Structure 1
Amino acid sequence: MGRASAPSGLKLKCVGGGRIKHDESKRDLLVYGYSQGYGKADHQVAVDLLKIKYPEYHIDFSNDGY
């Protein structure tokens, strides 16, 4: 699990994974789960970024699930 190079020349490193459940009708996003290869990411970071892009949504996370 090494580093990858982005087209812009930035160095990238995967620090974990997870999934996002999207319920458009309820404007609800749930960040949850983990990657078997990379482990669990810090879901709060994803939630904070999603809240900037989707301020009208209810956004939360759970450490449960795969």
Structure 2
Amino acid sequence: MAITQVQSGWQVEFRVNGRGSRKYKRVFPTKAECERFQRFTIAQHETQSDAKPWLEKPKDSRKLSELIEL
């Protein structure tokens, strides 16, 4: 987890779960934005580790009469 100053601003570079996970590397104009991005990304990864938001739920194909019986 490193925040370094580069010619175009500040660069944040880190991995959420160590060596085997995805590497995040971005450049921001301020150091504070780098820190916020890093904290946000780690929090998102911890809260949605099992969730797959890109997968939609299957369509409910039951008939209305079946739903009324419940």
Normalised by the length of structure 1, the TM-score is 0.28
**Higher strand content, 1 or 2:** 1
Normalised by the length of structure 2, the TM-score is 0.27
Which of 1 and 2 has greater Rg?
A: 2
**Higher helix content, 1 or 2:** 2
